[in-house]
Structure 1
Amino acid sequence: MILSGAILLGLLALWVVAAAFEAHRLGIGLRQAFLYLPFRLAYRIDDSRLRAVARAEAPVIYVVWHQSRLDPALMLSLLPEQTLHILDEEAAKSIWLEPWRELARTITFNAKHVFVSRRLVRVLKGKGRIAVYMPDEVEPDVKTFRLYRAVGRIAAQAGARVVPVFVSGGRFVHGSLTPRQQAPRRWFPKLSIAALSPMTIAELVERSGGPSAITASNALFDRMAEARLAGADLDRSLFSAVRDAALRFGPSRTIVEDVLTGALSYRRLLTGARVLGKRFEAMTSPGEAVGVLLPNTNGVLLSLIGLSSAGRAAAMMNYTAGPANLAAATQTAAIRVVVSSRAFVEKAALADIVEAIEKAGARLVWLEDVRAGVGALEKLAAALLWRVPIARQSATDPAVILFTSGSEGTPKAVVLSSRSLIANAMQAEARVSFSPADRLLNVLPVFHSFGLTGGAILPLINGVPLFLYPSPLHYKIIPEIARKARPTIMFGTDTFLAAYARTAKDDDFSSLRFVVAGAEAVKPDTRKTWRDRFGAEIVEGYGLTEAAPVAAVNSASHGRDGTVGRLLPGMRKRTEPVEGIAEGGRLWLSGPNLMTGYMTLDRPGELQPLADDWLDTGDIVSVDREGFITISGRAKRFAKIAGEMISLGAVEMMVTALWPEHNHAAVAVPDKRRGERIVLVTTAEGVDADALRRCGKQAGAAEIMIPDGVVKVTEMPLLGSGKTDYVAARKMAMESLGLGLAA
């Protein structure tokens, strides 16, 4: 009995000493430290970022993502004792939370009254501190968004600084407020508290950039999304991110499926990737670029993750680009080895592509041969070591090399690090609502950045089951696949989505919650068709390969038809004036998702980094008061006619409104008198110059916008991504008009 008492006293004394150490380390009271210690030990909490800003100069508002029942207890333990905590009714009445509620002042949250009270403004003006707990919704509804407006208004009136706080991993603890099917529970996962530096509402609004600053509520909303992004671990390789997802969501969880080889769990995916990775390691050098010439099947993901595990960069080769472009890509990225499949090459009739690659100096490695040579010991070792990377891992090393579409010229190699790719996936996760309860259908090829990041990496590292289909051009088959696979999310382009709708039955896409569209503008008819027939909203975004690729996106809470949405969290923009364009300017971007740099054919294998971390997108845009971006067109997609800049994209929109069932491309060709003139390349039969002039006048278009030449084609040239191939379209126009190929 005496011994037991002595042990208990000893443990208590040790607890007090540890609490005293925590109190000194964190600058909090002893009672706070005493109650914080069990959380610190059980969840191995990284609190360094909160510690750095917790005692920011008052007045200050701590705006906390409320993910679990632990959040109020953690904040009551860690924030200064004089902080007034605004708790929801459950937290205010919870019996287990009683010891923590005694650590500071609390009031009960009442959405109808508390935020219209002037009391909070008075508290803040008296150098006070407030902690507000916001619902964990990346796409808040109207009622929830009122809280952002209220907090923004209070902060502005009191001149208070705002400190966003996000507890990374909080969604997965027992006590999470997220349904289990969306966030599987784990016992004592490691938690990390992300807290951003204090900023006033005025400072948040001012830094939004552009000719007009965004509203205070949107500035606060964006800052909260940045805190969510800050809670993500971006300093991982692609392999490590997929491995961590396997451990979080369960190694036996089915994560990817295709129409050829069936379904793979995380464990089988990583086991197979390790087998391939060991073979890739033996035939290449560390950091070397290895070509991947494969369609959307399980094999392409096995190769991608295997290369990441082995410390090699995967150069995703566009097999629709033609022999000359593939040869150029091989030389540009200094590729010595290309991974492919004999069955794929034969079925897709790519013998000329293979020949061009070999002539460019690379050799083909066939997956069929690799698999046939794998022995039982290799399989056993891979099964035991599936969690372990083969080579040293670094988030900043090149992970993927993609090639620009070449829609306006010679393709360049875009080098993306693991950090860029993971950042972009997590930026999307902080803006668009999806979860492991969803199912994603990806028909976009992974040699395209949209299909790679959005359609493969994002679901893999977020536990979203993925169904891969090898070609977006199978317009009749894909609706049938959707009817069987029952996806809730789908990726596509306007061209492809319009084609699927023409062949689909009304119930083929009925399982979809939304469709993410990019690469080209979504036509109003396409949006209406998918909304009316399938009940699916098309979420339009904007991206470019150099941004890995998504830069802006619409969402349920922040969506506006005709725009490409608002910038993703963590990104910054600036616009530069363009001569001849009155509204908007040339868009420049900065952010954690930007590429490492280019490789070009004249400097093969040599990385050319961004000069100052800013990327010239080459797009002309305008930005409204709420941050929505409207694309006027590529700078190269403007015609300069008699000194005036005319958007070729706007011309296409005008023509499409008149003949929506056909495809159109407006191109600029040389004109001796006015510098350039606009020619319309179209699949429509009834379009001629006179018809264009009549309809243009009826639409109120300026005379200078109306094409004065028409070239009719049976089929619009497209790139593998589904974009219009403007190089080919302009070539058709030049040849048809007898202008040659100059200029």
Structure 2
Amino acid sequence: MSKPLLGQMMDMPLNVSMLLTHAARSAGDTEIVSRRIEGDIHRYTYRDCERRARQLAQALIRRGVQAGERIATLAWNGYRHLEAYYGTTGFGAVCHTINPRLFPEQITYIINHADDRYVLFDTTFAPLVAALAPHCPNVKAWIALADDVHMPSIDAPLLGYEMLLAAEDGDFEWPILDERLASYLCYTSGTTGNPKGALYSHRSVVLHAYAAAMPDAMGLSARDSVLPVVPMFHVNAWGIPHAAPMAGAKLVFPGKDLDGKSLFDLMEAERVTYSAGVPTVWMGLLAHVRSIGARFTSLERTVIGGSCCPPSMLREFEEEYGVRTIHAWGMTEMSPLGTLARLNWEQMQRPLEERRRLLDKQGTAVFGVEMKIVGSDGRELPHDGVAFGDLYVRGPWVIERYFEGTDSPLVDGWFPTGDVATIDRDGFLQITDRSKDVIKSGGEWISSSDVENVAVAHPDVAEAACIACPHPKWGERPLLVVVRRPTGLALTREALLAFYEGKVGKWWIPDDVVFVDELPHTATGKLLKVKLRDMFRGHVLSSVQEGATNV
């Protein structure tokens, strides 16, 4: 048998530091703009960013931080947070981004579970840090992302970020690391149980950045001005802090002000061409633009993910404002990129309604991600757009096990996502529900997300959630919980249910509608259905009271 012939190429490890070094060398004068916690606008370049990231690495090493140790962040999107991304991972430490919107008890658990050595925090979170510090004994010091003028006063071991950097000269070479070493630690924001950690490698992060920057993925370019609304504390802002330096794109960070007016003003001032965020954020932005009769003068594209995007929002962005929207899906366990809704040349030739039908879905898998759907018997289901089952994925940036976990969740090498989905012959994924949220009525499944999408298409509906409610005959029936727009307070249950006629099968029409002032959300903006189910646990459907049903 002949000996396998190996390629004769350099075996150069993929390191996260390469991304920022590349940006500093090939796009060194490109701006990074931040609305700071202090209230002003900060500007500098990729070249400045890399120098300061090297200074941070020096400062942490001087304080005894070793490769593999976790350095946490509690921070908004800004230039200092970006420096922390690279100043920690660049020398082999692990950057652990913490979601400050979680309950304090969950944050305490996360810090202790990760065994964080230092925590870098924006000063808006000083009260939170003061409450956390007594319960996090292994944290050596809390580092305020501030200069000496803006240092908070709290009863905890405290260091100042700018003072730490000022003591270093930045004359530091990034070491070449084994690409399999850990780089980032991101915890899930699950609705039940303690959050679980996904520990990414240098290799997975760089490959994910390559995939994200591809033209038919997130499609970042050196010609773009990119504003990531998705927080850097949530799954690494979907990889934008890595893909943007790879592409050499201008970065615009919004800080803590994520209301519609603040985002619109910053987008216009910095000529933002590209943005990314969850549907709840875009609701606020569109409401503001609508209220003042404004137009976007530079925004061309936006990625919408985090939860299913209502088709009505996609239409409004594109048809009213000329902003091309990219529907996306992913998970913390996937770093997070999985699919994006883009049409190929052949699909672009199809009738408008068919193109819309495809773009309303979560899209096709990016290169590197494989998907399949599996039935209750464990067998793979056909990709016909009809059969739906449990969604499984695998790929080089999908986790093999959770941080400090003893057992792998994989099934025959595939990760079970917990989503119920269909995949059509074009390869387009459509998430029909989370497995725990699907409504089973009379032995048949109803997609709560499809029911919600019809509701939010009504001009008087701001937001809607569909949950299962017990029914004596059918087991479960859909209950629709709705937030009306300020201009639509006259909307009635009967009018909204009539709006469903002809849009879905009759048996999918909710049996009841409840109007509320607001809906509960998770720390990452997703509908908190577990809380809704608890709130309406004793609700008696109108159909039960009336002895009728839509089935």
**Fold match (TM-score > 0.5):** yes
1:207: which partner in 2?
none
- Which residue identity does 1:539 align to in structure 2? I
1: distance between equivalents of 2:80 and 2:533? Answer: 37
Question: Is the 2:437–2:529 Cα contact (8 Å) retained in structure 1?
Answer: no
- Structure 1 397/357 Cα, relative in aligned 2: closer, same or farther at 3 Å? farther
- Other structure's SS at 1:637 match: coil
TM superposition shift of 1:576? 0.7
Alpha-carbon distance in 2 for matches of 1:485, 1:572 = 37
Query: Residue 553 of structure 1 contacts residue 567 of structure 1 at CA under 8 Å; is this kept in 2?
Result: yes
Structure 1 residue 276 displacement after superposition: 1.7
Assess, with a 3 A threshold, how the Cα gap between structure 1 residues 372 and 435 changes in structure 2: closer, same or farther. Answer: closer
Is 1:623 the counterpart of 2:423? The answer is: yes
Farther-moved stretch of structure 1 (653-662 vs 472-481): 653-662
Tell me how far apart the structure 2 counterparts of residues 234 and 701 of structure 1 sit (CA, whole Å): 56
Structure 2 residue corresponding to 1:379, chosen from 161, 164, 168: 168
Equivalent residues of 2:493, 2:514 under 8 A apart: no
Secondary structure of the structure 2 residue equivalent to 1:622 = strand
1:567 and 1:670 mapped to 2: Cα distance? 36
The corresponding residue for 2:82 is 301
Say yes or no: does 1:732 pair with 2:535: yes
Question: What CA deviation, in whole Å up to 9, does each residue of 1:219-267 have, x standing for no partner?
Answer: xxxxxxxxxxxxxx994221233213323x14x3234220126223222
2:363: which partner in 1?
565
Give SS of 2:116's match: coil
Residue 736 to residue 275, structure 1, CA distance change in 2 (3 Å): farther
Residue aligned with 1:320, SS: coil
Partner of 1:443: 229
Residue 261 of structure 2 aligns with an amino acid whose one-letter code is K
**Structure 1 pair 268/473, CA: closer, same or farther in 2 (3 Å)?**
closer
Which residue is 2:440 aligned to?
A: 640
Q: Aligned-pair distance for 1:585?
A: 2.3
- What secondary structure does 2:390 align onto? strand
Q: CA offset at residue 465 of structure 1?
A: 1.2
For 1:733 and 1:445, the matched residues in 2 are separated by: 31
Quick one: structure 1 residues 374 and 289, their matched pair in 2 at CA, closer, same or farther if it must change by over 3 Å?
closer
Alignment equivalent of 1:524, drawn from 276, 288, 311: 311
Would the alpha carbon gap of residues 610 and 484 (structure 1) be closer, same or farther in structure 2, given more than 3 Å must change?
A: same
What are the ranges of 5 or more consecutive residues in structure 2 without an aligned counterpart?
A: 147-158, 348-354, 542-551
Residue 344, structure 1, aligned to residue 124, structure 2: yes
Read off the aligned partner of 2:478 and give its amino acid letter: I
Return the letter of the residue paired with 1:458.
A
Pair 662,375 (structure 1): closer, same or farther in 2 beyond 3 Å? closer
- 2:145 aligned with 1:367, yes or no? yes
Match of 1:13 in 2: none
**Partner-residue secondary structure (3-state), 2:198:** strand
Are residues 268 and 476 of structure 1, via their aligned partners in 2, closer, same or farther at CA, if it must alter by over 3 Å? same
Q: Is the 8 A contact 2:341 2:363 kept in 1?
A: yes
CA contact (8 A) 1:340 1:366 kept: yes
Aligned counterpart, 2:199: 415
Aligned amino acid, residue 509 of structure 1? F
Distance 1:697 1:554, change over 3 A: closer
Describe how 1:592-741 pairs up with structure 2 within 5 A. 592-599=396-403, 605-606=404-405, 609=408, 611=410, 612-658=412-458, 661-670=461-470, 674-684=474-484, 690-691=494-495, 693-703=497-507, 705-734=508-537
Aligned to 1:406: 190
- Matches of 2:44 and 2:413, distance apart in 1: 39
Instruction: Provide the C-alpha distance between the structure 1 equivalents of 2:138 and 2:492, rounded to a whole number of angstroms.
Output: 48
Q: CA deviation at 1:593?
A: 1.7
Maintained 8 Å contact 2:31/2:45: yes
What is the SS of the residue equivalent to 1:598?
coil
SS in 2 for 1:272: helix
Specify the structure having the higher radius of gyration (Cα). 1
Which residue identity does 1:438 align to in structure 2? Answer: D
Distance 1:735 1:335, change over 3 A: farther
The reply to whether residue 265 of structure 1 matches residue 55 of structure 2 is: no
Residue 241 of structure 1 pairs with residue 19 of structure 2? yes
SS in 1 for 2:87: helix
SS at match of 1:243: helix
Task: Give 1:290 deviation, angstroms.
Answer: 2.0
Is residue 324 of structure 2 the alignment partner of residue 514 of structure 1?
no
Alpha-carbon separation, structure 2, partners of 1:690 and 1:354: 50
Matches of 1:325 and 1:664, distance apart in 2? 27
Alpha-carbon distance in 2 for matches of 1:735, 1:555: 43
Matches within 5 A, 1:143-158: none
Aligned to 1:256: 32
The CA deviation at 1:715 is 1.3
Q: Which residue of 2 aligns with 1:274?
A: 54
> Contact between 2:220 and 2:244, CA under 8 Å: does it hold in 1?
no
Contact 1:414 1:598 in 2 (8 A): yes
How far the C-alpha of 1:358 sits from its partner, in A, is 3.8
Contact 2:480/2:510 (8 A) holds in 1: yes
Q: Percent identity?
A: 23
Kindly indicate whether residue 338 of structure 2 is the aligned counterpart of residue 545 of structure 1. Answer: no
Return the match for 1:318 from 73, 89, 99: 99
User: One-letter code of the match for 2:168?
Assistant: K
Q: 2: CA distance between counterparts of 1:474 and 1:354?
A: 27
- Once structures 1 and 2 are overlaid, which stretch shifts more, 311-320 or 518-527? 518-527
The whole-number CA distance in structure 1 between the counterparts of 2:194 and 2:510 is 27
Residue 543 of structure 1, CA deviation: 1.0
- Say yes or no: does 1:468 pair with 2:271: no
Partner-residue secondary structure (3-state), 1:575: strand
d(CA) in 2 for partners of 1:636 and 1:246? 46
Q: Whole-Å Cα distance in 1 between the matches of residues 165 and 458 of structure 2?
A: 62
**Separation in 2, partners of 1:437, 1:266:** 15
Work out which of the residue numbers 322, 327, 343 in structure 2 matches 1:535.
322
Of the candidates 54, 58, 65, which is equivalent to residue 284 of structure 1? Answer: 65
**What is the aligned partner in structure 1 of residue 271 from structure 2?**
486
Matched residue, 1:741 = none
Stretches of structure 1 lacking an aligned partner (at least 5 in a row): 1-26, 28-45, 50-191, 193-232, 600-604, 739-743
Distance of aligned partners of 1:660 and 1:620 in 2 relative to their CA distance in 1, 3 Å threshold: farther
RMSD value, Cα: 3.1
Shift of 1:306: 0.9
Q: Cα gap change, 1:701/1:688 in structure 2, threshold over 3 Å: closer, same or farther?
A: farther
Q: What code does the residue aligned with 1:435 have?
A: S
Matching of residue 500 in structure 1 with residue 280 in structure 2: no
> Which AA in structure 2 matches 1:398?
A
TM-score by length of 1: 0.61
Q: How many residues align?
A: 492
